Structure 1
Amino acid sequence: MTEMPALFSLAAQAAKHAAARQQVIATNVANADTPGYRARDVAPFLVVEDGAALRRSHPGHMAGTPRTARIFEEVGVAADPNGNTVSLQDQILRGIDASRAHNRALTVYQSSLDVLRASLGR
């Protein structure tokens, strides 16, 4: 077994995505008073398996989210008189969401590692 199991890879990619989102949010907060600055965010995390996005077989199941961290400008956000679209309250909520996503990915990774160690008898 020389390759990383799929669950480890997925958890690592989810953690990287959350870190990229946190970096974009920090940039938004740093530019909260910059005239004309447009708030940005990262596209959602999408799970892609063998080139095709995962699909839901039932509407009640969870949808997949993207692997790539594509950064985009937020559209339709009200701007301040100086043209800035950063809302600190919104950025705080997005930061909390990114932090939770990162912690969730690390928990999945750690739990999978514990299962792997238990199966090896360590």
Structure 2
Amino acid sequence: MFSDLNVFKMAYAMATHAGKRQSVVSQNMANADTPGYQAREIEPFASTYLQERPRAGMQSTRAGHLNGLQSGQMQWAEYTPNLPSDPNNNSVSVEEEMLKGVEVKRQHDRALAIYKSSMKLLRASINAS
């Protein structure tokens, strides 16, 4: 009955994407004064999730499990956007990174809200049956 609940996989993927993006944003901010540092970014969640979403079939939660693909191991591709640089050849804008940080927090909060709402629905359906 509840064998394949993709909403939980999607919420997990969204939360891990937000965590990875927050890591990239904080790395950019930490290197805001580093000469020659180029700001990094990762691919948007929607486009990457549609390409790499978990496939049907047996999956594992650990590498040691038999015959399963490692689930939840989506690759969030980092890239260097073509941004203008300052005289030190640094392309980090602290203001833009701060705005990205707020956006990432909202994405993570959205993933948690989806997960919590889905858990409430699942509990309600189990209690009703």
- TM-score, scaled to structure 2: 0.75
Structure 1 stretches of 4+ with a deviation exceeding 6 A read: none
CA RMSD of aligned residues (A): 2.0
Cα deviation digits, residues 15-68 of structure 1 (max 9, x gap): 1001100000000000000000000111001332577xxxxxxxxxxxxxxx64
Structure 1 distance, partners of 2:54, 2:21, is 25
Structure 2: runs of 5+ lacking an equivalent: 56-73
- Could you say which residue in structure 2 is the equivalent of 1:106? 112
Larger helix fraction of residues: 2
Kindly indicate whether residue 10 of structure 2 is the aligned counterpart of residue 7 of structure 1. no
Structure 1 residues 15 and 4, CA gap change in structure 2 (3 angstroms): farther
DSSP 3-state at the match of 1:121: helix
Identity %: 40
Kindly indicate whether residue 81 of structure 2 is the aligned counterpart of residue 78 of structure 1. no
- Could you say which residue in structure 1 is the equivalent of 2:21? 21
Q: Which moved more, 1:1-10 or 1:30-39?
A: 1-10
Displacement of 1:78 after TM fit? Answer: 1.3
- Could you say which residue in structure 2 is the equivalent of 1:63? none
- Could you say which residue in structure 2 is the equivalent of 1:59? none
Structure 1: runs of 5+ lacking an equivalent: 52-66
Displacement of 1:3 after TM fit? Answer: 4.5
